[in-house]
Amino acid sequence: MAPLAGYTCYPFRMLVREMGAALSYTEMVSCNGLKYKDKATQALLFTTTQETPKAAQILGADSRVMAEMCHFGIPEEYDLIDINMGCPVPNVIKSGEGCALMGDLRRASKIIRACADGRRPVTVKFRTGLVESNMIAAEFAKMCEDSGAAMITIHGRSRNMMYDGQPYYEQIQQAKAAVRIPVIANGGIRSVEDAERMMKETGADGIMIARYALENPYIFSELTKTPVIKSRFTLLQEQLELCKKYYEENFTLVYMKKLISYFMKKRIGTKRYKMELFRCGNCEELSFLIEKIFGEREDF
């Protein structure tokens, strides 16, 4: 499961693990936020002994700060750390973070070397390049390996493509051929058929699912042939209870409303519930609405 800002909190990570995902990362965690002990940033790292293995994704542009946070900011219980070098969002790019690092291989290498000190595996997630006219997936992948990365994930789109367009399978394939470390392929996977095509055309060692998992977390059970007999109603009620157990009500309401909206996507007859959903002011109202929308539907 890909790290997704605003979504891959502890409850959702546990959900996709139950569905069959082998690994799920935290939301991207700002190293600057950790440095200044920002409570919202620290909260992104919440986990329990029930989650294993544990994987955190960090964001930053200063190798010294990032190394320090890897050593002292990310709890020791996390088994591996991923460095975000693929986020295309404008405010991240302006800060020299995320995908901006694909335009500065020397700095990117310095960051990886500083973080990959042998204490725990460090992985890197990046794109095929900044623009389609200058794709550098293989070169960047080799740099990551040479700098100490234990694994890489490649989103098969350039930064200027954002989240649209057909992934460039050949870029991932070229990167796979350039390195010996495991390569995970990401981008445009919405079905078992998409996953099989990605694996076949790239030769990747595995795949990563991103936004589609919000709409259909069962994709992991379909891919791994993990038996799942829980309905969407049951999954949402369990997510609600898990949020209530570990988070404040405001966080629970915001997160659950977003998740329910994704679960309702492309389902007949649910548009009329959208306004009612966003009017919910407490967890009891939300629970009632979940039952109202999904309670009588035992489809998966």
Q: Are 44 and 80 in contact (CB under 8 A)?
A: no
| Nearest CA-CA partner of 81 in 45, 110, 49 | 45
Q: Which of these is catalytic: 9, 70, 87, 280? A: 87
The neighbouring-strand residues paired with 74 are: none
CB-side exposure of 100: number of CA atoms within 13 Å?
14
99 a catalytic residue: no
Rounded CA separation 112/164 (Å): 28
| Nearest CA-CA partner of 41 in 50, 33, 51, 49 | 33
Helix, strand, coil shares of the chain as percentages rounded to 5? 50, 10, 40
Q: Are 238 and 16 in contact (CB under 8 A)?
A: no
Instruction: Output the CA angle 200-201-206, nearest 5 degrees.
Output: 60
| Nearest CA-CA partner of 72 in 37, 26, 25 | 37
Q: Tokens at residue 258, please?
A: 């977003």
Rounded CA separation 46/61 (Å): 23
Q: Which residues participate in catalysis according to the annotation?
A: 87
